[in-house]
Structure 1
Amino acid sequence: MRCMKYQKICWMRSGTQSALSTKECRGTRRRSQMTEEEILHSHFGEWGSMRRDYLRRTQPEEWARMVREGIAEQYLRDYDDAVYDQFVQMTEEACKRDGVTEELKKRDVMKWIRAYNSVLAEVREILRYEVMPPIEEASM
């Protein structure tokens, strides 16, 4: 079993099973308690909004509990911040690995743009899988 932590967020994976754990999030101070409708019409950044939609679709009981307890809004904000930080870190690492540097940018801008876009696409794909594992995997 492996635990992937992003600040206040943790979900456990064991084989093909995935379970969300928000126990660490429960102790956080609430900004305000939004209704589910307000949460659904709010934007929590790319990753927080993606996670909200995923949880509603694949774990409706957990989502309802989070809304009822008033932790959904803070969870999504913290989640977006944490995944964005990981996105930045992974992008920097992939740029170093692939030689996407300022020097390349000065020498050949178009090559740099292609390489940088490739890095962004790779990192987004990796994180998208972390934020939204395949539904058949999450529903087991």
Structure 2
Amino acid sequence: MNELKPRIHDEDTGLDYILVGDYYIPAIELPEDDDRPIGKWGRMHQAYLEETNPLLLNHLILTGRLHTYLADLNEQAQERYRIIVQQVMEAEGVTEDLKRRSQWEWIKAMNSIANRAEEVIKSEMINA
């Protein structure tokens, strides 16, 4: 019987495999230079991928790009969220003056703005 090699390389996928017992397991390492957090938006998008597109999720995991992909998406979503909140605050006249005059009105307005901005981000970036 043929002796199995302890390590092989698949040219089609570009992945290396290590022999563990009788099975070859992909030799996957996380990139060490990317220590950015994936954050709330990245975790939400990962859950969306798990439900709707597991093939893409597995591809990102196997190629070692999942963390970078989710961290990039999280940063873009945070910036987009900030811009949306700022624009809606200006459009609806929610200012620091309102905050000084009536804190409860300001809190209600900001909660409404935050909820709407989150829904926009979910529909545009997370569930897309």
Tell me whether the two structures share a fold, i.e. TM-score over 0.5. Answer: yes
Which runs of structure 2 are paired with 1:14-93 in the superposition (5 Å)? Answer: 31-32=31-32, 44-93=38-87
1-structure distance, mates of 2:72, 2:120: 19
Runs (4+) of structure 1 exceeding 3 A deviation are 30-33
- Structure ID, larger Rg: 2
Residue 123, structure 1, aligned to residue 122, structure 2: no
Q: Which amino acid counterpart does residue 56 of structure 2 have in structure 1?
A: E
Gaps of 5+ in 1: 1-29, 34-42, 134-140
Bigger RCO (CA 8 Å, 6+ sep): 1
1-structure distance, mates of 2:110, 2:93: 10
1-structure distance, mates of 2:104, 2:55: 48
TM-score normalised per structure 2: 0.69
2-structure distance, mates of 1:61, 1:110: 47
Tell me the matched-pair count. 95
**Cα shift readout 1:16-56 (whole Å, capped 9, x = no counterpart):** xxxxxxxxxxxxxx7339xxxxxxxxx72110000011111
What percentage of residue pairs aligned between the two structures are identical? 27
Match of 1:100?
94
RMSD over aligned Cα atoms: 1.7
Displacement of 1:128 after TM fit?
A: 1.2
TM-score normalised per structure 1: 0.64
Gaps of 5+ in 2: 1-29
